[in-house]
Amino acid sequence: MSTPLTLRTIHHPDGRPVLSARGEIDMSNLPEFRAALAAAVTGSGPIVVDLTAVDYLDSGAINALFVHAEHLHLICNRVLLPALRISGLTELATVEAPDAP
C-alpha cells in the first residue's frame, strides 16, 4: 500500500505547467512523483511545482526535484524549507514559501 498522494498537472493561464501535489511523498510513492514530474517538464521552459499541500517529503523526492532543478519554481510549506535548504535545492531552483494561512 502506498502513502496517499494526489498529483495533478494543470497549465497556468500563461502556459506554464503547474504540478500540484497533495499528501506525503516517500519511498512508496516516489516513482509516481518522479513520473508526474518528468511528464510535466515537457519542454525546456520553467514549470511550477506546488507543494503547499505536501506535509512530508524525503531525500528521494528531493533527488527527483534535483534532476530538473534549473527549471523549477517551487511553492512549498514553510516547514519544509530547512530540508530543501540543507539539501542545496534552494540554490538551484527558485523556492517560494507563502506565509502559513
Partner 1 sequence: MTSGADGRLRAAEIAETTEIAETTEIAEAMEAAGIADATGAGVFAADQEVGEDLAVVDWSATPIGEPSGWPQSLRTAVSILLSSRFPMWMAWGPRLTFFCNAAYRRDTLGQKYPWALGRPADQVWEEIWDDIGPRIEHVLATGRATWDQGLLLFLERSGYPEETYHTFSYSPLRDDWGTVVGMLCVVSEDTERVIGERRMATLRDLGSDPSVARTEQEMLEFAASQLGRNQRDLPFTLTYLFDDDGGARLAATTGIVSGHPAAPGHVPSDSGLWPAAAAAQGRSVLVDLGDPALGSLPTGAWPTPPAQALVVPLLHQGSVPVGFVVAALNRYRPLDEGYRGFVDLIAGHVAGGILSARSYRAQLRRAEELAELDRAKTAFFSNISHEFRTPLTLITGPVQELRTRLADAEPVVRAEVEVIHRNGLRLGKLVNALLDFSRIEAGRMRASYEPVDLAAVTGELASVFRSAIEKAGLRFEVDCLPLAEPVHVDRGMWEKVILNLLSNAVKFTFDGAVAVRVRTQDDHAVVTVADTGIGIAEAEMPRLFERFHRVENARSRSSEGSGIGLALVKELVGLHGGTITADSAQDRGTTFTIRLPFGYAHLPADAVTEGPAMVTASASVEPFVEEAMRWLPDTAVPDLQPAAPGDAALPPRVGSPALTDAVRGLPARVLVADDNADMREYLTRLLRGAGHEVRAVTDGQAALETVRGELPDLVVSDVMMPRLDGLGLVAALRADRRTASVPVLLLSARAGQEASIQGLEAGADDYLVKPFSAAELLARVRANVELARLRSQHARWRTALVDSLQEGFFVCDADGTVAEINATFAEILGYGPDGLPYRPPLAWWPDPDTDPHAYQRVRQEFSRLVEDTSGEGDLPLVHRDGHRVWLRATFNRVEDPVAGRHVIVGTVRDITGEHYTVQRDTALAALAEQLAQADTVPEALAAAATELRRTWSAHHVTIAVFPPASAGSHREPDLVRTSEHSRWSDLAPELRTLLSALREAPPLAPQVDQPGCAGVTVGYPGGVLVVWIDLGDRRPFGAEDQALLSVLAGRLGQGVHRVHEIDQQREAAVALQHAILGPASLPGGFAVRYQPAIRPLQVGGDWYDTVPLAEGRIGIVVGDCVGHGLNAAAVMGQLRSACRALLLEHSSPARALAGLDRFAALLPGAECTTVFCAILDPASGELVYSSAGHPPPILVRADGTAATLDGGRGIPLGVRIDRHRDQDRLVIPARATLLLYTDGLIERRRRSLDDGIARAAAAVHDGRGMPVEELASHLMAVLTPEGGYEDDVALLLYRPPRPLEIEFVAAPSELAPVRHTLRDWLSRCDLNAQMINDVLIAVGEACNNAVEHGHREHPAGMVRLRAAALADQLWVSVIDSGRWKPLDPEATARGNRGRGIALMRGLMHHVTIDATESGTIVEMSTRIAT
Residues that bind partner 1 (CB under 8 A): 1-4, 24, 26-28, 55-60, 62-63, 66, 78-80, 82-83, 86-87
Dist CA 29 CA 79 (whole Å): 21
Residue whose CB is less far from partner 1, 25 or 47: 25
CB of 46 to partner 1, least distance (A): 22
Phi, psi of 83 (to 5 degrees): -65, -40
Residue 36 contacts residue 52 (beta carbons within 8 Å): no
Q: Per-residue DSSP letters for 34-67?
A: HHHHHHH--SSS-EEEEEEEEEEE-HHHHHHHHH
CB of 94 to partner 1, least distance (A): 20
Residue whose CB is less far from partner 1, 1 or 14: 1
Residue whose CB is less far from partner 1, 6 or 42: 6
